[in-house]
Amino acid sequence: MGIKFVVSDCEGPITVNDNAFELAEHFIEDGKKFFQIVSHYDDILADEIKRPGYNAGSTLKLILPFLKAYGATNPEMEKFSQENVLLVPGARATLGLLQFIMPTYIVSTSYEPYIRALCNLTNFAFNQCYCTSLDLDKHPLNSAEQEKLKQLRLSIVENPDFNNLERIFWEELPKMEIYSLVEEVKPVGGEAKKEAVLDIIDKRDFQASDLMYVGDSITDVQPLSFARENGGIALSFNGNEFAL
């Protein structure tokens, strides 16, 4: 029957950004190291331990209280994202051509402000995107919890031991009021990306074999496998070990 629709991840196939990493580096003290530790922890939970109910890409919810503790707001996240979109060479033309040829979608773990910035830059339709919605400003953070989060960040950076991270993310954070932010955000990664693909198939009356999925990371494993196992095309674009 051939390919009838394309679904692509954003960061990797379309842009060279890691928006969440860049936000952490910009807002959080020693944010580069902090993000790398939490991201590695996320890989362990999703790929090695395979914790039930845990999706790859949940780094994006775990870091949110820390971003807020260091002053990130909705407008500042949007401004930073708009100013820092970096396209893969040829991506703008490719997206334009794909949209002309067949239905094309972006399914990304990235935060919504970043995906909106990408759509504005490339004239891609935002209603053809699935991404991680959030509202930092909806959740108040008192000074005591702000200071506690800064202490926890220091503990993560100085002692990235797995048991310490387990204690912080599943014992310490859930006791805090700001944890409502973590509970509210549902990153579109792993199984959630596959669910987005299924939603597209259902709404457009496609078949699984009509799909070409393009991805590059651990958050794309499930939709890549779904495409391959159902007669579609699974394309790893500059893929890491998980996608490959």
pLDDT per position as a tens digit, 208-223: 999 999 999 889 999 9
Other C-beta atoms within 10 Å of 25: how many? Answer: 16
SS3 of 26-83: the string is HHCCCHHHHHHHHHHHHHHHHHHHCCCCCCCCCHHHHCHHHHHHCCCCHHHHHHHHHH
Over range 166-190, report the average pLDDT: 96
* pLDDT score for 51: 87
Over range 16-45, report the average pLDDT: 96
* pLDDT score for 239: 83
Buried/exposed code over 171-204 (b: 16+ C-beta within 10 A; e: otherwise)? eebeebebbebbeebebbbbbbbbbbbeebbeee
Over range 36-45, report the average pLDDT: 94
Over range 8-18, report the average pLDDT: 96
With cut-offs at 50, 70 and 90, classify the pLDDT of residue 55: confident
Who has greater pLDDT, 159 or 239? Answer: 159
- Give the side-chain half-sphere CA count within 13 A for 223: 35
Q: How far apart are CA 99 and CA 116, in angstroms?
A: 17
* pLDDT score for 216: 94
Indicate if the pLDDT at residue 242 is higher than 80: yes
* pLDDT score for 240: 84
Number of helical (H) and strand (E) elements in the chain, helices listed first: 12, 5
With cut-offs at 50, 70 and 90, classify the pLDDT of residue 47: confident
Both tokens assigned to 203:
């709404």
Q: What mean pLDDT, rounded, does the chain reach?
A: 95
DSSP letter for 177, please: T
CB 66 within 8 A of CB 26: no
Both tokens assigned to 234:
């699974």
With cut-offs at 50, 70 and 90, classify the pLDDT of residue 73: very high
Cα dist. 109→29, 93, 129, 163, 164 in Å? 24, 23, 11, 26, 26
Over range 28-43, report the average pLDDT: 96
Domain boundaries, the chain: 5-236
Tell me the pTM: 0.92
* pLDDT score for 1: 53
Query: What share of the chain in percent tops pLDDT 70?
Result: 100
Structural class in CATH, domain 5-236: alpha beta
* pLDDT score for 218: 86
- Residues 86, 216, 106, 88, CA torsion sign: positive
Q: Can you point out the beta strands (E) in 68-192? A: 104-111, 129-132
* pLDDT score for 130: 98
Indicate if the pLDDT at residue 18 is higher than 80: yes
Indicate if the pLDDT at residue 46 is higher than 90: no
DSSP letter for 169, please: I
CB neighbour list of residue 238: distance below 8 Å, 6 or more residues apart: 12, 13, 216
CB < 8 Å & 24+ apart, contacts of 172-178? 172/148, 173/65, 176/65, 176/145, 176/148, 176/149, 177/140, 177/141, 177/142, 177/145, 178/65, 178/68, 178/139, 178/141, 178/145, 178/149
